[in-house]
A = this chain, B = another copy of it.
């Protein structure tokens, strides 16, 4: 009996997932983009100023001092960049992606343009929606966070980080786009390096910021579809016109 109940639950989950996917495809069908359904994760740790972003030290591949990492002894090693957990892991930048995939089960998607479909936007803050994006020979970490910067007023923050050094990050431009009901909101910026820490990017507000009311306007039945595109900075400069 328990077996059948579990089977029925799994089938319902599959139908729900398929429905979300169908909805996103409907919205973004014109572009024929890859749609990825991303479920929320309730953040287990939360420290608003976990890292003091130090450009100089980050530039050298050394992570700035973090509250949960006493010290990085070897400058070649970086701590875990997963914004969800206080993870004691540290390793070389080249193996951060495999650590995030294997230990934190963060999915990775291929393609220059994808659609990130964050489900269950109504969940209380702090909540994160995270995915990795492989594109132009590099890996990027997309983080959507629901957070109460001001008590009782949750906001959504979305940013893209390069799993690489700040110098490498300067070569790219990322675009996040919301498009629904004849409204469109676009954010374009240079990605920050994961060495700079996602918490500091969000606390600086240097990302796409949405009030709850705006997020609701762009949501469809509790899911928010964000179109993501990454280009090299040369393309961005050429397009640099109003």
Contacts and interface: CB of A to CB of B under 8 A. Distances in A.
Given A33-B242, A209-B211, A242-B227, A186 B183 contact: no
Contact of A31 (B153, B229, B241): B241
A173 B179 contact: no
A136 interface: no
A236 interface: yes
A184 B179 contact: no
B188 A187 contact: no
Nearest to A31: B242
Nearest to A206: B217
A135 to B, nearest CB: 15
**Size class of the A contact interface (CB-based, 8 Å):** 35 or more
A113 to B, nearest CB: 7
A59 interface: no
Contact of A183 (B33, B189, B211): B189
Contacts of A30: 240-242
Nearest to A212: B205
A177 interface: yes
A205 B209 contact: no
Nearest to A216: B205
Contact of A242 (B28, B204, B210): B28
Interface string A168-207: 0000010001010011111111100000000000001110
A214 interface: yes
A198 to B, nearest CB: 16
Q: Of residues A28, A153, A209, A236, which shows the largest number of chain B Cβ atoms within 10 Å of its Cβ?
A: A209
Nearest to A205: B213
A33 B39 CA distance: 44
Q: Of residues A33, A115, A204, which shows the largest number of chain B Cβ atoms within 10 Å of its Cβ?
A: A204
Contacts of A208: 185
Interface of A: 28, 30-31, 33, 113, 115, 150, 152-153, 155, 173, 177, 179, 182-190, 204-206, 208-211, 213-214, 217, 227, 229, 233, 236, 240-242
12 contacts: A115-B242, A177-B242, A182-B233, A183-B189, A183-B190, A184-B187, A184-B189, A185-B185, A185-B208, A204-B213, A206-B213, A206-B217
